[in-house]
Chain A
Amino acid sequence: MDLEEAKEFKERCTQCAAVSWGLTDEGKYYCTSCHNVTERSKEVINTGAIPNTKIQAINRGLKRKRKLEKGWDWYVCEGFQQILYQQAEALKTLGVGPKLKDEVLHNFWKRYLQKSKQAYCKNPVYTRGRKATVLEDNPSHSDWDSEPDLLSDFSCPSFVESGPDSQLDSRTQKPFPISKASQSASICSGSLDGVKYSQQKEKGIVKMTVPRTLAFCYLSLLWQRETITLSDLLRFVEEGHIPYINAFQHFPEEMKLYGRDKGIFAIESWPAYEDIYKKMIEIAKFLDLPRFPDITEDCYLHPDILCMKYLMEVNLPDEMNDLTYQVVKMTGIGEVDFLTFDPIAKMAKTVKYDIQAVAVIVIVLKLLFLLDDNLEWTLSNIAEKYNEKNKEDKPWFDFRKWYQVMKKSVDEKKQKWEEARAKYVWKSEKPLYHSSIDRAVVYKRREMVVSLQKQFSALTDSAPTVEKKSPSSFQFNWTEGDSAGTCFHGHSLQGILKKKGQSLTTKNSLYWLSTQKFCRSYCKHVTTYEESNFSLSYQFIINLFSFLLRIKASSLHEEVSLIEKRLFKRKYSKTQKKSRSRKRRKY
């Protein structure tokens, strides 16, 4: 009907020169081909003289503001889909196979929409079956069409989301920005269901959040058994290789975000390991996923391989691989059933592959050096003397020297990391605001910040302040045979092992447990980590690895304790008769 009334306006559009006008709710003409809104309104043309010109001016001001808020009709879940799409693309550029995006993540997401009754089901939450097409390269991908029974019922108006929406006619399905629905929705959010979404608290439904997009990514990586661990994924996010913070910036121009969308899509924290891990299990359970593909010995996530990787990363001798291999074998943490994620199992859990591998290395270091701030230095003295005398031979591993090299490089890395974090640009170029009243203020503030920033960046060198690192699963780089002699990969463990019959045994025959007694009370803490209770070497090792994985030191300590519990099962079953457990170990 709007189009009918607008027929009398025959001027050409200033933007696209078309003569195709519609009327907005305020009675202004807008161009239906380019959505340019004119300053002229129907009343002005018809009546000619409006007594109070002030009203007109105010009206015009309002108009201009509203024009910018209009965009496509879109739903919150489409926003998340957009983010997932970007993340999947980023993973692809990181070298992950294309299957991850097109099959795995796509299916997980479809399943999520179905489970959360947003699409692909008989009674979707939204009346209008708007096809979620952003994830696909080709909007009319066969996948969507091949499952008609899953798709929502277009013509079924039985479920309406809110009052004004019930009057929707078929016209709103056109890719046409101005509809009554969008106008009523635009009061509090750019998306159609932003307000409703943020209030929604349905039991049993896992609501989508931005951190959960990463859980989706990780689930897909795990399904594909890709060579990216959770800590790697989160590090790539922090380094900006995977869109996360301000991911909404790259939404299509027409997807406007404001109001409640801000609370849904704006993120001011980096993802935390424990949090994403938790969310991942939660989503896998919610999606009712079957058992994941087996993690076998040739998978990257298998502790043997990860141990090898982390030994290289922290510059420890390759010979330690034998020991990690044995610990993995003895504790049974390398078995397929243990490693494979099965969300349907009674107590769904998955292994924190990276933390576990690192914990194994910590245990091996404890076996070799005891790490009591004493034995490791004694052994270092012996190795140092040996190395001085036998310069030609393969050098013995000198813990002290290794400590010095690592301490220095970790401290430098940490410093750089902290500086880079401090310089992190959080705020998007596209600021989000709560309501149209805020809009001008928010944009002005943004402008001001940009102009101030320009001033200060003029003072700094032309070089970018934070150089972007190219993504790598290694954070340190140790090359054999460099002049400084800082690479320990080729060093031998001879000074620390001794022959006993056929096998080699560690010279050190003592061991201390990271946790004597596990907490069994309702707090569900397995153990606690009070740094000062432990030796300095142990603290250093724990801090080194937890920095590498960007996790809390306590999580690693806990993992070490849990593996020790498996390793020294007998000791624990004797119910801690002695306060300090000592044990002989043979290999």
Chain B
Amino acid sequence: MSDFSEELIESKTEDDQEESYVFSGTGMSFPWLQNHIGTIATGGKKEKDFAQTTSACLSFIQEALLKHQWQQAAEYMHSYLQILEDSDSHKRQAAPEIIWKLGSEILFYHPKSNMETFNTFADRMKNIGVMNYLKISLQHALYLVHHGMLEDANRNLSHAETWRYGEKSSSQEVLINLIQAYKGLLQYYTWSKKKLELSTLDEDDYAYNAASQSMLNHSCKTSVNLGALIQTPGVWDPFVKSYVEMLEFYGDRDGAREVLTNYAYDEKFPSNPNAHVYLYNFLKREKAPREKLISVLKILYQIVPSHKLMLEFHSLLRKSEKEDHRKLGLEVLFGVLDFAGCTKNITAWKYLAKYLRQILMGNHLAWVQEEWNSRKNWWPDFHFSSFWAKNDWKEDKTLACEKALVAGILLGKGCRYFRFISKQDDEVLRKKIKRIKKSVENHSIVNPGL
């Protein structure tokens, strides 16, 4: 026997200890890393093949779902369920949620699946592990709502609502609130259906009283259900909206205002433009003073300068007596037009053209220059290129005219956009273009002498 044969045997014994064991315990997974780990042959205390195949199985399910191969996904799911018996308690406890998510997805789309299978699946999954009961109940209810089974959904939520398990953790408390709120939302739906019915009835009718009475009952329950959730910080737009609608319907304006103000201004809540929109609309309905409306929209302006309410904001500011409000009015218009989605907003251009003239006549050249300085580098190409001139003219002549006026004021007579429009010979618009030329002549901020 040659000596290498000894090495042959010896080499094996060390093999196992040499290679290290690679496993990432975090929930993140990099597909390439997964493959890499797979190719690293490990020995000794290596990951068990069971763990390896179940994770492979999981990726097969995910792949099948991605490709909408529900059949295959169900097949792999059959094997993946073994993970519920994993001796690794970490994996075992994390499994129900994964199984629920994947399984409900499969059952939602699988052609052979039906309501019944889904319901049995959901009921089984709810009772695996304590922490999933509420989450699954809620998603189950949403599934039922999706299929129009409102009553079943409501029953489900009621069950979940009363569910208790020892010391509730704080996360579970939020979930219970959420479940109650969804229940509230379902009740709101019935309520608003009743409201619609009521509007068709005659007030003197006997049925009217009964209907309004039951409506009132609904609203009571609903407000209890919705109220709790809205107190907790979060984004609860649909809940807030329906809650406010009911409050308003029963004349509780102060209550509604309080809810909305709290929703918009409480610092614990995440920044949410809709909160301000709801408050603004409410205040507008209430005919609140302009000052108040401006202060609400000011915040919205800071969050979403391109919001469609900004033009309304501009009108409010324009009418204000305060000088800084009027200055802000200009800022707001420029701000709106900074966004690509608003480039063809004719109202915005119209407002700007009109307001520029107004401001320049009011001798506030500095305001205009202040806004223009930061934009003069990119607006000419962004708005006033010859391409846009041709394009706008072809698509919307009025828009082109408004833009030409603005271009002329800001860039002078020589700018491409203005030149293109002013050269156009159009029967209808001849007069208008002439007026524009005159305005530009009078108001252009570019010194013609230079």
A binds B: yes
Interface residues in chain A, defined as those with a beta carbon under 8 Å from any beta carbon in chain B: 268-270, 272, 274-275, 277-278, 281, 337-338, 345, 347-349, 418-419, 421-427, 431, 442, 445-446, 448-449, 451-453, 455-461, 465, 518, 523-526, 552, 554, 558, 562, 565-566
Task: Select from chain B the residue with minimum beta-carbon distance to A332.
Answer: B2
The verdict on A558 contacting B121 (CB below 8 Å), with A448-B84, A452-B81, A460-B71 known, is: no
Within the complex, which residue of B82, B87, B107, B117 is in contact with A449, where a contact is CB–CB below 8 Å? B82
CB pair A452–B121 under 8 Å, yes or no, is: yes
When A and B form their complex, which 8 residue pairs have the shortest distance between CB atoms, in order from nearest? A268-B50, A422-B57, A269-B49, A459-B74, A268-B48, A552-B41, A423-B79, A422-B56
The verdict on A349 contacting B8 (CB below 8 Å), with A458-B117, A461-B71 known, is: yes
Complex alpha-carbon distance, A518 and B4, angstroms: 10
B85 at the interface (CB under 8 A from A): yes
Listed by A's residue number, 15 A-B pairs whose Cβ atoms lie within 8 Å are: A268-B49, A274-B15, A278-B12, A278-B13, A347-B1, A349-B1, A421-B53, A422-B79, A426-B50, A426-B82, A427-B85, A448-B84, A452-B103, A459-B71, A524-B7
CB pair B85–A446 under 8 Å, yes or no, is: yes
CB pair B11–A524 under 8 Å, yes or no, is: yes
Task: Select from chain A the residue with minimum beta-carbon distance to B46.
Answer: A269
The prevalent SS among residues of A at the interface is: helix
B9 at the interface (CB under 8 A from A): yes
| Chain A residues closer than 8 Å to B70, beta-carbon distance | 459
B106 at the interface (CB under 8 A from A): yes
| Chain A residues closer than 8 Å to B85, beta-carbon distance | 427, 431, 442, 445-446, 449
The verdict on A526 contacting B75 (CB below 8 Å), with A421-B53, A459-B106 known, is: no
Task: Select from chain A the residue with minimum beta-carbon distance to B17.
Answer: A523
Within the complex, which residue of A347, A349, A431, A460 is in contact with B75, where a contact is CB–CB below 8 Å? A460
User: Nearest Cβ distance between residue A315 and chain B, in whole angstroms?
Assistant: 25
CB pair B43–A275 under 8 Å, yes or no, is: yes
Name the residue in B18, B78, B112, B124 with the highest tally of chain A Cβ atoms < 10 Å from its Cβ. Answer: B78
The verdict on A448 contacting B124 (CB below 8 Å), with A419-B60, A422-B53, A458-B117 known, is: yes
Complex alpha-carbon distance, A348 and B6, angstroms: 8
Interface residues in chain B, defined as those with a beta carbon under 8 Å from any beta carbon in chain A: 1-2, 4-16, 18, 41, 43, 46, 48-51, 53, 56-57, 60, 70-71, 74-79, 81-82, 84-85, 87, 99, 103, 106-107, 110, 112-113, 117, 120-121, 124, 128
Within the complex, which residue of B5, B87, B117 is in contact with A349, where a contact is CB–CB below 8 Å? B5
| Chain B residues closer than 8 Å to A349, beta-carbon distance | 1, 5-6, 8-9
Complex alpha-carbon distance, A562 and B11, angstroms: 12
The verdict on A445 contacting B7 (CB below 8 Å), with A422-B57, A525-B18 known, is: no
Task: Select from chain B the residue with minimum beta-carbon distance to A434.
Answer: B87
Known: A338-B1, A426-B50, A427-B85. 6 other contacts (CB 8 A): A281-B9, A422-B53, A422-B60, A431-B85, A518-B4, A524-B7
CB pair B12–A445 under 8 Å, yes or no, is: no
CB pair B7–A460 under 8 Å, yes or no, is: no
The verdict on A524 contacting B71 (CB below 8 Å), with A423-B57, A425-B82 known, is: no
Complex alpha-carbon distance, A349 and B1, angstroms: 10
Complex alpha-carbon distance, A424 and B81, angstroms: 11
Task: Select from chain A the residue with minimum beta-carbon distance to B110.
Answer: A459
| Chain B residues closer than 8 Å to A461, beta-carbon distance | 71
CB pair A455–B1 under 8 Å, yes or no, is: no
| Chain B residues closer than 8 Å to A337, beta-carbon distance | 1
| Chain B residues closer than 8 Å to A423, beta-carbon distance | 57, 75-76, 78-79
CB pair A269–B11 under 8 Å, yes or no, is: no
Within the complex, which residue of B5, B11, B13, B128 is in contact with A558, where a contact is CB–CB below 8 Å? B11
| Chain A residues closer than 8 Å to B78, beta-carbon distance | 423, 453, 456-457, 460, 465
CB pair A452–B82 under 8 Å, yes or no, is: no
CB pair A525–B11 under 8 Å, yes or no, is: yes
CB pair A272–B43 under 8 Å, yes or no, is: yes
| Chain A residues closer than 8 Å to B106, beta-carbon distance | 456, 459
Complex alpha-carbon distance, A348 and B8, angstroms: 11
Name the residue in A422, A457, A460 with the highest tally of chain B Cβ atoms < 10 Å from its Cβ. Answer: A422
User: Nearest Cβ distance between residue B115 and chain A, in whole angstroms?
Assistant: 14
| Chain A residues closer than 8 Å to B10, beta-carbon distance | 524
Task: Select from chain B the residue with minimum beta-carbon distance to A554.
Answer: B41
| Chain B residues closer than 8 Å to A270, beta-carbon distance | 49
Complex alpha-carbon distance, A269 and B14, angstroms: 20
| Chain B residues closer than 8 Å to A525, beta-carbon distance | 11, 14-15, 18
User: Nearest Cβ distance between residue A302 and chain B, in whole angstroms?
Assistant: 17
Task: Select from chain A the residue with minimum beta-carbon distance to B125.
Answer: A452
CB pair A449–B75 under 8 Å, yes or no, is: no
Complex alpha-carbon distance, A507 and B71, angstroms: 54
CB pair B76–A274 under 8 Å, yes or no, is: no
| Chain B residues closer than 8 Å to A445, beta-carbon distance | 84-85
Task: Select from chain B the residue with minimum beta-carbon distance to A270.
Answer: B49
